[in-house]
A = this chain, B = another copy of it.
């Protein structure tokens, strides 16, 4: 990549982060209602500190940190980069202010652009590769920002909206979708993992063969209407559908419906980025945990696809990101499959965008995976236990951030991400 192209790309990523926070009140930037949800102000600072720690501090002689305490305040989990505020204490910090965090951002953006222009030609290949990684890191925080902002607004009894009103695509109600189809895929030995020449995360490699039996995959996402049937059939009250750890969670947390659903006077509503809205039955189900996805699958006498099945099916079906409902559409909510599309039956729908899709695969290293040395080694590898893989990105993911080989991961009880699922079947 040319230096000027990289500067443009870098500045665009930086700007997007700030754009996301633009509709917020200052007060919205500060709070952390649960440990998983970081204050937006922290995201603003963290994504600046990251460049400071990884680039400026390494490439500039006698670099003086912008502020001596910011490394402590804005480090997330990088043990190799020093001590830091406890993760669940990020909401206890009123300073630096939002204004100061934005000044910090501006300073870092400018210094980084100077550095991009001035770094030695000899270091350029490695430097530019690392910078693309860092920009992808910032894009992940863009998605987290949207996800966390939604939670911050949803816990508020005033139920404030982030968008002025719901985009048309979100509201469309074109009649009930026809029943879903299960598409057939042949078993065999398939290559899995990233095989291109562009950026990828280390957890997408090595490319390796997996053996799949024949399987069938649902041609679209599970909808709110379908999930409502599960609820109305007593799904949250019957232990038989739930994994043991899941049932424990249902009981101790008192789960009775997806995170953002509310039943008011007999009608179901859903908290969205446009505030509380009547539940759209044809829209894809969103904000469920792995536990809920798996329980629904048990109830439906099906199962979740493995991550390998997901990737193979997507690749064989020629799934592409064009036209998918990513962050760039600014819907910030999954959109119903149009009846026309649904009836075409020719292909796999909604694999990319809308909602992350839970798979039945644990997040583990691919065969032959070795984590990197230094702070980048803390990026993916150290999380490879206790979490489940999700695929396909969501309506809060930047379009140019995702790939078919992209592996996201969350604990199986997480329900604040934009996550849903489709089902699979083994063909006997």
Contacts from A to B (Cβ < 8 Å): 25-31, 33, 41, 67, 69, 72-73, 77, 79-80, 85, 89, 91-98, 152-153, 155-158, 160, 189, 208-211, 213, 239-240, 242-247, 290-291, 294, 303, 306, 360-362, 364-365, 367-368, 377-378, 382-386, 388, 412, 426, 428
Contact = CB atoms under 8 A, between A and B. Distances in A.
Closest 5 CB pairs of A and B: A362-B362, A211-B211, A33-B92, A27-B94, A79-B239
Contact of A27 (B97, B294, B364): B97
Given A27-B30, A91-B31, A209-B211, A85 B384 contact: no
A28 B94 contact: yes
Q: Is the interface of A mostly helix, strand, loop or mixed?
A: mixed
Contacts of A25: 94-95, 97
Contacts of A95: 25, 27-28, 156, 158, 160
Contacts of A294: 385
Given A95-B156, A240-B377, 7 more contacts: A25-B97, A27-B97, A27-B98, A28-B94, A67-B158, A94-B156, A242-B382
Contacts of A98: 27
Contacts of A96: 158
Contacts of A157: 69, 72-73, 85, 93
Nearest to A41: B27
B364 A386 contact: no
A367 B426 contact: yes
A412 B426 contact: no
7 contacts: A30-B30, A33-B89, A95-B160, A96-B158, A242-B382, A294-B385, A360-B365
Most chain B beta-carbon neighbours within 10 Å: one of A152, A157, A428: A157
A80 B247 CA distance: 13
Contact of A210 (B27, B80, B211): B211
Contact of A92 (B79, B155, B211): B155
A69 B160 CA distance: 12
Contacts of A189: 189, 211
A352 to B, nearest CB: 25
Contacts of A244: 77, 378, 382-383
A360 B96 CA distance: 42
B94 A31 contact: yes
A31 B30 contact: yes
A271 B361 CA distance: 38
Contacts of A388: 385
Contact of A426 (B156, B239, B368): B368
A243 B155 contact: no
A242 to B, nearest CB: 7
Contacts of A377: 240
Contacts of A242: 382
A217 to B, nearest CB: 14
Contacts of A97: 25-27
A91 B383 CA distance: 30
A388 B364 CA distance: 11
Contacts of A378: 244
Contact of A386 (B30, B209, B245, B426): B245
A109 B138 CA distance: 46
Most chain B beta-carbon neighbours within 10 Å: one of A244, A412, A428: A244
